[in-house]
Chain A
Amino acid sequence: DAGITQSPRHKVTETGTPVTLRCHQTENHRYMYWYRQDPGHGLRLIHYSYGVKDTDKGEVSDGYSVSRSKTEDFLLTLESATSSQTSVYFCAISEGGVTDTQYFGPGTRLTVL
């Protein structure tokens, strides 16, 4: 498996609280992605990054923000968590471009009560 870690792996939080999920890679890949996975919806892209401080929105970006200050770290922030953001969140990386093969982290299960 590619060197990708996600933290925390599990989190339970209350509606309205801010939440930050971290993705860390040791592969030095330029591209990083955040997905959410929900039953019946497959994998949906939230945001992605094509370099340090370079990010763009995905299909379901509302309510989420991201930051990438170092090549190895990509942070996903829910400014004010809602129950609809209960999901499993996956980070992924790719080397050669946004259409290149992606390698996924182990995921973070987030529950918003």
Chain B
Amino acid sequence: GQQVMQIPQYQHVQEGEDFTTYCNSSTTLSNIQWYKQRPGGHPVFLIQLVKSGEVKKQKRLTFQFGEAKKNSSLHITATQTTDVGTYFCAGPPDTPLVFGKGTRLSVIA
């Protein structure tokens, strides 16, 4: 079946360092969605990218959708302790969303 792979699985950074997580699909995606789950919480929608090569920013977060619509990235500039959590990408070809396994971010103050 369709798979969405995320790397890395874990990332530990010092506060103020940058962080990037990558999402790769085995098939072309109609869109890519990103979610954040705080420890003990539930996934919360962050953003959706639809167009090939699309780049969107939310404050210190930059999201990119690849030209071939098979990969995406989330980059956080100057991480803060509030960025702690697991970041999931999710993509649909023509089925319900398939979630990646997520990247767990730890921020050391």
Residues of A within 8 A of B (CB): 33, 40-45, 48, 58-59, 90, 92, 98-99, 101-107
Contact = CB atoms under 8 A, between A and B. Distances in A.
A105 B42 contact: yes
B88 A43 contact: yes
Interface in B1-22: 1
Contact of B43 (A41, A43, A59, A98): A43
Nearest to A90: B42
The main secondary structure of chain B at its interface with chain A is loop
A102 to B, nearest CB: 6
Interface of B: 1, 30-31, 33, 41-45, 48, 88, 90, 92, 94-102
Nearest to B99: A43
A42 B102 CA distance: 6
B29 to A, nearest CB: 9
Contacts of A41: 101
B30 A99 contact: yes
B48 A101 contact: yes
A58 B33 CA distance: 19
12 contacts: A42-B100, A42-B101, A44-B99, A45-B98, A48-B96, A58-B96, A92-B43, A99-B30, A102-B33, A102-B45, A104-B42, A105-B42
